[in-house]
Amino acid sequence: MVEFRKVVKSYGNLDVLKAVDLAIDKGEIVFLIGPSGSGKSTLLRCINVLETIQSGDLIVDGLSAKGTSAEIRQIRLEAGMVFQQFNLFPHMTALENVMFGPLKVRRSGKVEAEAIARDLLAKVGLSERAGHYPSQLSGGQQQRVAIARSLAVRPKLMLFDEPTSALDPELRHEVLQVMRQLADEGMTMVVVTHEIGFARDVGSRLLFIDKGHILHDGDPKELLANPPSERLAGFLQHIR
Ligand SMILES: Nc1ncnc2c1ncn2[C@@H]1O[C@H](COP(=O)(O)OP(=O)(O)OP(=O)(O)O)[C@@H](O)[C@H]1O
């Protein structure tokens, strides 16, 4: 589904991803952890071409991130993204937010778009809130609408960038539950998070990124129970 081949991403003189090689298969639930500034968000943002890479190759579902604008547009359709800040359209209801992608991107008719949106709001447990504006929803509810909005474009892959970091602890659970359900349904997911327990329970794979390198790549339960380096052990101690 995703393949990085010697990918370098820099901002000016700062190399943030340093010749990263990584292959992610369909159905994998990959968690990215690592210190602040290590390049986790950048890696995620390269996948849906929010960032352009300096060298190497990046292939998403057979499409090149260095390809034509049509290819890049297709990658963005296939890779849905959920951010820390939910980024909903404030002047649109939950339903309208979720209908936006089908209407504008997939060119669905209004009736079809509304049916898709209502289905997805039900899936994230928000049928009752369809007519509410973002300002009338809790942070957890807004994030669930944001997930529904991404799913409405029928992505093949979901990217999550610290989706619960802006939420109070009691609201995180409802978002994690929706993510767990998606994982159970077989969605391919790449998740940047500090929720180590969640990564251990739900992840099929854990990557520890340090200074632009993937330092460890393995089974979440094993890596977390027996960190193979001082670097990972220290990081885990710090965030726990
Ligand atoms: N648009 C940008 N312009 C310049 N430098 C950037 C830009 N985006 C990120 N950086 C720098 O790239 C490095 C990696 O940033 P990135 O956001 O990928 O780290 P991260 O591991 O996700 O960190 P955090 O856990 O703090 O979110 C940091 O040093 C950051 O300051």
pLDDT tens digits for range 101-115: 999 988 889 999 999
Q: What pLDDT band is residue 34 in, cutting at 50, 70 and 90? A: very high
CB atoms within 10 A of CB 160: 25
Domains of the chain: 2-87+156-239 (3.40.50.300)
Residue 61: which of 34, 49, 79 has the closest Cα?
79
| Ligand 1 centroid from CA 85, angstroms | 16
Output the six-digit token pair for 181.
């359900």
Which residues sit with their C-beta closer than 6 Å to ligand 1? 11, 16, 34, 36-42
Q: Nearest residue CA, atom 4 of ligand 1?
A: 11
Those residues whose C-beta lies under 8 Å from the C-beta of residue 24, and which sit 6 or more positions away, are 1, 2, 3, 30, 188, 190, 205
Q: Packing angle between helix 110-123 and helix 139-151, nearest 10 degrees? A: 130
pLDDT tens digits for range 55-100: 999 999 999 999 999 999 999 999 999 999 988 999 999 999 999 9
Q: Please report the ipTM that was assigned to this predicted complex.
A: 0.96
- Mean pLDDT calculated for residue range 111-134: 97
- What pLDDT does 239 receive? 87
Query: Residue 8 pLDDT > 90, yes or no?
Result: yes
For strands 205-210 and 213-218, give the pairing.
antiparallel
Query: Residue 6 pLDDT > 90, yes or no?
Result: yes
| Ligand 1 centroid from CA 35, angstroms | 11
Q: Nearest residue CA, atom 5 of ligand 1?
A: 11
